[in-house]
Structure 1
């Protein structure tokens, strides 16, 4: 009796069950699964390794031609090509996302760059987390938003924000007003101040 057979018999697995899945004409997938499961459940490391070695030897005994036939019998996954409708829909969604990004980038700058503003702005309101703020010498506030925009309170606006708390993230809600003006409301403070975009 070979050392592999002794280890297999000690583990309670017969050599026939290890090699059975390799015989031609027998569906191997269920037997392979059982054999691998049996090997995995062996507690002794050396016996488990011998079991796996026996499975590997059994696979090597299968003639190359039969292995190729078994591989050919595996179901092939055919990737479905997207229809023209799906491609058009994806393209429209991509264009809309780019348009929204572009509109957000230009929000508040249309008075400065009128010539470069080629399309009508569709955004009426912008909500962004506040990254930083600073109180300027005259008491007005400069706010830096998460998207990189910098907004400043107009000097003519004498309303003052309560202190912006650094402890938690606050949001600036900037909306369009009449005649090219903008109003910023810092949530949760609730005060509206007139602002202009400076960067």
Structure 2
């Protein structure tokens, strides 16, 4: 289960590496606009990964953190257990979950080769206009993966990512199933957090 989730995470962060916007006027247009800038940033920082992995992770994490709604995703992953968790447990899981994703992200960038992202200009908007689905295709040497970004506008008018579906697999739901599976074996939230940290 962990290896499968790790593979999906690598695909997730390949998407993030290439195309996520910070303040898009139009989500799909902005994705294309920043594509070359993100690729250049990867090339500029890739050497530091071997010499100083922590510095590389920080260089990539700084622009990524305000973009991804880690708090919302981690709350969804905890599901029904969120309301039962103490504030300390919620914070510790949020921190562990966030670190696991950022570490996976940095490793994905370090392994970056010739993947490409094709962004569709057609987005699916919600009725109120505050949510959008952006449709993409990840092109690799072995397979093409259709993907969907789920984004919403926060109170400051900034697009935030809260879920991705890759090749029909819902990543947030996959992480939730992983959390529930760990709850069955570890029996409590503290045990799950400890196990999650061990996978980082």
TM over 0.5: no
TM-score w.r.t. the length of structure 2 is 0.19
Q: TM-score, normalised by structure 1?
A: 0.19
